[in-house]
A and B are shown apart, each in its own frame.
Chain A
């Protein structure tokens, strides 16, 4: 039996946060089943939560700065003193940076590690933003694949290929164009980015993020990153950077997909 209590905005927020008691949750679920707009809004709120974790959870793994540890040792130096120490630390950091650049010049493979990481992060954020979408997961659907490929190739300025992932049980849903991470002020890598979305029989979603790489970025092996609840394999191959993201497959399944993608792009 239902309680016939009207569903309030507070109920919907609590539903989005998975905080309703079972009985009430079932009522809200039934209510949402007949209201797709509200259902999509609530799904969007859950996507926000995943996005927040993808963006900020990496802070949890950062080493705690010494000045914060010092603050806890009590009677520690205040921030005024720390400010002076900060300049010293900055000097040290610049030294480290200079050393790193020297090493980078000597290294046979020149890959900006930071850039690769940020590509994984951006791909993960794009994944959690669009993969929960029910009505608008893509801009152009797989039924217009030829148009999709032509359009995205034109916007990225290089011919794209869409891998077929049937062997991994994934069908192309479609694709969309995303803003690039370039800085318009400097004109560095201003090309937009393509995102292809795939879906499995159980609704599992995987996105392939493709961007143009600067000429001095060399090929890399697969790298794995975990951004919040999103698993990402990413690599650079010739003048493209690829990142494959999912929240629904485990690491080895995703690696299998990454291999499929790689093989098709390098026949």
Chain B
């Protein structure tokens, strides 16, 4: 398989994206490993001449969604998550060590779009194809992801209401 070498070359990119997507190294590398194993099994589905990177990210997206589905019930992350840590005195809003976690706190489907665009520099069309969603959805998720992250970073008022935890 001639593309094997090309896939190996892309492993660092897959690892970077996975790290940003799931947050910690071990889980991210598990995701990459499952992706590589699945890519090899499904390689007959790859159409020669098309973008190998986009295809691999599609495989990773599918593996990731399946893993989330399997873990559902233990995964309360959704749109109702509080936007912002309780803001103390001015200037304390941004816990730098928590930036990683702020990104992980974005709703999963928004985080995927933001990372493919901002970290992978993938075209909007390719993001739509990779995730199997319309381009309008790509743009609205991108816009919401960025605004939420900005709210978390600068302590702006949350755009969605906080859920009261009883």
A and B associate in one complex: yes
| Stretch in B29-37, B47-55, B72-80 touching the partner | B29-37
Complex contacts, A56 vs chain B, CB 8 Å: 16, 19-20, 119
Partner of A51, one of B15, B29, B99: B99
Q: Mark A29-65, 1 if CB is under 8 A from B, else 0.
A: 0000000000001001100110111011101111011
Q: A13-B142, A64-B15, A72-B8 are in contact. Are A129 and B153 (CB under 8 A)?
A: yes
Contact count band on B: 35 or more
Whose C-beta in chain B lies nearest to the C-beta of A183?
A: B97
Question: Are A178 and B96 in contact (CB-based, < 8 A)?
Answer: yes
Q: Mark A71-98, 1 if CB is under 8 A from B, else 0.
A: 1101010110010000000000000000
Question: Are B118 and A49 in contact (CB-based, < 8 A)?
Answer: yes
Complex contacts, B150 vs chain A, CB 8 Å: 41, 44-45, 48
Partner of A68, one of B36, B94, B118, B119: B36
Question: Are B146 and A57 in contact (CB-based, < 8 A)?
Answer: no
Question: Are A64 and B33 in contact (CB-based, < 8 A)?
Answer: no
Question: Are A179 and B40 in contact (CB-based, < 8 A)?
Answer: no
What CA separation (Å) do A244 and B37 show in the bound complex? Answer: 43
Complex contacts, B8 vs chain A, CB 8 Å: 69, 72
Q: A44-B150, A59-B12, A59-B15 are in contact. Are A72 and B4 (CB under 8 A)?
A: yes
Grouping DSSP codes into helix (H, G, I), strand (E, B) and loop, the A interface class, with mixed when no group exceeds half, is helix
In B97-136, which residues have CB < 8 Å from any A CB? Answer: 97, 99-100, 103, 115, 117-119, 121, 123-124
Question: Are A60 and B12 in contact (CB-based, < 8 A)?
Answer: yes
What CA separation (Å) do A60 and B4 show in the bound complex? Answer: 19
Question: Are B143 and A82 in contact (CB-based, < 8 A)?
Answer: no
Complex contacts, A176 vs chain B, CB 8 Å: 91
Task: Give the size of the chain A interface in residues (CB under 8 angstroms).
Answer: 45
Whose C-beta in chain B lies nearest to the C-beta of A45?
A: B146
What CA separation (Å) do A178 and B153 show in the bound complex? Answer: 12
Question: Are B92 and A52 in contact (CB-based, < 8 A)?
Answer: no
Whose C-beta in chain B lies nearest to the C-beta of A8?
A: B139
Partner of B149, one of A48, A181, A192: A48
In A176-209, which residues have CB < 8 Å from any B CB? Answer: 176-179, 181, 192
Q: Name the distance in Å between B155's Cβ and chain A's nearest Cβ.
A: 11
In B1-45, which residues have CB < 8 Å from any A CB? Answer: 4, 7-8, 11-13, 15-16, 19-20, 29-30, 32-34, 36-37, 40
Whose C-beta in chain B lies nearest to the C-beta of A49?
A: B118
Partner of A71, one of B33, B103, B118: B33
Question: Are B118 and A52 in contact (CB-based, < 8 A)?
Answer: yes
Q: Name the distance in Å between B19's Cβ and chain A's nearest Cβ.
A: 5
Question: Are A125 and B96 in contact (CB-based, < 8 A)?
Answer: yes
Whose C-beta in chain B lies nearest to the C-beta of A126?
A: B96
What CA separation (Å) do A61 and B153 show in the bound complex? Answer: 27
What CA separation (Å) do A65 and B20 show in the bound complex? Answer: 17
What CA separation (Å) do A167 and B41 show in the bound complex? Answer: 62
A selection of 6 A-B contacts at a CB cut-off of 8 Å is A17-B117, A48-B146, A55-B20, A68-B11, A72-B36, A79-B30
3 closest Cβ contacts across the A-B interface? A59-B16, A71-B36, A177-B91
Q: Given A61-B12, A68-B33, 19 more contacts at CB 8 Å?
A: A10-B139, A14-B124, A41-B147, A44-B146, A49-B119, A51-B99, A52-B20, A52-B115, A55-B103, A59-B12, A60-B16, A62-B12, A62-B15, A72-B7, A122-B96, A129-B94, A177-B91, A178-B94, A181-B96
B-to-A contact residues, CB < 8 Å: 4, 7-8, 11-13, 15-16, 19-20, 29-30, 32-34, 36-37, 40, 90-92, 94-97, 99-100, 103, 115, 117-119, 121, 123-124, 139, 142-143, 146-147, 149-150, 153-154
